[in-house]
Structure 1
Amino acid sequence: MPVSKPLVSIIVPVYNAERYLRHCVDSILGQSYRNLQILLIDDGATDASGDMCDEYAAHDSRVTVIHKHNGGIASAQNAGLDAATGDCIAFCDNDDIMHNNNVEHLLMALQKTHADMAKGRWNQIGVSELPVTIESASQAQSLGALTLIDDPLNAYQSVFCKTLRILGGAKTEARYFNEANWCRLYRRELWDGLRFKEGHYAQDIRMAGPLYARTKRVVDVNEVLYYWLQEPDSVTHSQRTPAFWHDNVTAAAENFEFTLSHGVVPYRNYFGLTASVRDEKLGLRESSRQQIHASQTNNDDYDKVRLLVARLSHRDRLKCRTLAIIRRGENKIYDQLIHAMQ
């Protein structure tokens, strides 16, 4: 970053988000750091979202709107990356809220530590919590404690069970990050030559390995800087089809192989592989419209998982299974909490 006030490009994929879009964009426009390029990518929305984007662009020169045919979130993210001119890149989902200090504090962390990526903490919120969240997100706060992570790919793969993060304390929690792109600030060059694979549900899982492998250093900011809106009927929480599970198996398999090739044990992807192929089988059994093709796909996925797991040492396989058991228990509790959110 050659200047003290670098331009930060914020990419917001927008699709049928008229209900919450204003909360999201207003939180970006209200950032304490002002040198922003705000890219609203209208991914063929069929509601008023596209018009709302144009309205924002007409009133703030920092906002650029790109209207495109619907191609999915990966396509929208790629369009944003292609149009971004900032020294740093950030992403925000179209129904989430960024804390007022999000960009400022993540940028300060990058500049202080010379890291490649800065990440903050986030809270999950229900729709009923939006008013108090908007108020809280507008309140200035001090920069949180910084923790450096010099092995991002290993941290991503090994630190993912909430139970063990609690037992491990603050240093372990700081090493946790998932494949989500929001509540991050990236140096632009990290994305050179990298684009999301389009036409898939799990585009972020596919990107995690290649992105974190080229990331030399991550800095964690111990501060809530993002609010993730939970809706039980969203794609993340309700999309449960054979195609969805198969895509998750395939994405985890790609990342599993990639991670192994870099000498890192893919603990997280082991869980993703085994959980998705199991869910795929259970879903097909419960479906009254089960198809032969889908069943064969599940058999192929099972064989793929078996062959990949066989590449692990007995010791690593045992640790993978142990972490997967812990994570499955946590996910049952997590799903109940999400569906109980109002």
Structure 2
Amino acid sequence: MSNPLLSIVIPVWNNPRSIKNIASSILSQSFDDFELILVDDGSTDDTLQNLRDIAETDSRVKVITKPNGGPSSARNLGLDEATGKYIQFFDSDDDIKGGSLSLVVSEMEQRANDMVVSGWQIDLPTKSGSTRPYKQISPTSQVFDGDIKKSIIRSLGDIGTLYNLWNKLFRANIIREHGLRFREDLWFGEDLVFALNYLEHAKRVDIIPDITYCYLTNAGGSVVGHSSLVPEYRVANDEEIVKFAGNTLDNESRDLLNWLRRRWVMSFWITVSRSDKSLSEKRKLIRKVNIKGIKTVWSPKYIGLKHWLIGLILAVVKTSTIFILIFGSLANLAKNLIKSLKLTLRK
């Protein structure tokens, strides 16, 4: 029996219901030359039995079990088992659009890409237990070819097309030839770190506007995940993008990189501000993200007027944790107001 064209890896932990949904969507795709690798990461409920039930219905499904170690270790085990020419990584509580597998594989095959990146839809949970569409992210169609680092840095500072794993198709040979693995010491931003390490070896990246993935979020919710509040994870992400950028940046790339790094710091401020930590705990967390070497961008030429103004504000308030918390709270308030308005208008 020949190897499949595509391997799909999904880590699963204590998620017996949602995994059935995305597995059903995958197995009912018109494109069928794939293997679905479900990695049970030490679930303590009936998840494993549900995975085995799914595997009994379709020979393309593999179920692997391991002690609990987090999504990175589960994905690494999935990589070890994958035999496909291409690899995708999905999350167990999300969903995919019909025809998405055929679309991205076709783009990869016909255009000799090293990575295909697509758009996605953000879904919100409803009180009835179902989901409803909230927002669609449809990137501009473009190709990064040759020296792609500047384009990647710009994209990371824009709408975040390159941050996630689940809207990307990877070449397995690049992963294997360069020994790429997920960092198991990171529980936040590990997908971005993997993507950056992969892109170090990519020559052509194709970004398409098509919506292929449905990401479930609790947008507007008050719960802040623990991993997003660990300063060391944020610093590790910053170190990886600096390493990726290298030392041979032109003025445009340098400004784009400094804006991107400052934006990441701002994201952490907002996350800390809306957490349920005490004021003293929040101030301690903010002080720990002491990322050095971020330069103030003095011209909006390359990053745009809006980003330039935000960067100047961040440069001014960075010495005061109180001002930082005020800024973060106001930014989060504005963000939630915009979300509430959008949801109201859709009703």
The 3-state SS of whatever aligns with 1:21 is helix
Amino acid at match of 2:54: Y
Matched, 1:23 2:15: no
State how far apart, in whole Å, the 1-side matches of 2:102 and 2:12 are. 24
Alpha-carbon shift at residue 36 of structure 1 (Å): 0.8
Unaligned runs of 5+ in 2: 134-138, 312-327
Contact 1:43–1:67 under 8 Å retained in 2: yes
Structure 1 counterpart of 2:77: 79
Deviations 1:288-313 (A, max 9, x none): 6749xx93x754531xx1x3215x88
Aligned pairs for 1:266-277 (under 5 A) are: 266-267=257-258, 269-275=260-266
Residues 247 and 336 of structure 1: is their aligned pair in 2 closer, same or farther, counting only changes over 3 Å? farther
Aligned pairs for 1:196-215 (under 5 A) are: 196-200=182-186, 201-215=188-202
Deviates more, 1:324-333 or 1:72-81: 324-333
State how far apart, in whole Å, the 2-side matches of 1:20 and 1:315 are. 47
Alpha-carbon shift at residue 27 of structure 1 (Å): 0.8
The 3-state SS of whatever aligns with 1:154 is helix
Contact 1:267–1:323 under 8 Å retained in 2: no
Residue of structure 1 aligned with 2:60, choices 56, 59, 62 = 62
**Aligned-CA RMSD value:** 3.9
Contact 2:96–2:214 under 8 Å retained in 1: yes
Contact 1:245–1:276 under 8 Å retained in 2: no
Unaligned runs of 5+ in 1: 134-143, 166-175
Structure 2 counterpart of 1:104: 102
Residues 177 and 190 of structure 1: is their aligned pair in 2 closer, same or farther, counting only changes over 3 Å? farther
Structure 2 counterpart of 1:115: 113
The 3-state SS of whatever aligns with 2:44 is coil
Residue of structure 2 aligned with 1:323, choices 307, 317, 324 = 307
Structure 1 counterpart of 2:215: 228
Relative contact order (C-alpha < 8 Å, sep 6+): which is higher? 1
State how far apart, in whole Å, the 2-side matches of 1:284 and 1:55 are. 39
Structure 1 counterpart of 2:321: none
The 3-state SS of whatever aligns with 1:40 is strand
Alpha-carbon shift at residue 120 of structure 1 (Å): 1.6
Alpha-carbon shift at residue 20 of structure 1 (Å): 1.5
Structure 1 counterpart of 2:172: 188
Task: Give the length in aligned residue pairs.
Answer: 309
Structure 2 counterpart of 1:254: 240
Amino acid at match of 2:289: D
Amino acid at match of 2:50: M
Contact 2:95–2:214 under 8 Å retained in 1: yes
Residues 51 and 210 of structure 1: is their aligned pair in 2 closer, same or farther, counting only changes over 3 Å? same
Deviations 1:261-310 (A, max 9, x none): 4635325641354225645875899526749xx93x754531xx1x3215
State how far apart, in whole Å, the 1-side matches of 2:246 and 2:305 are. 17
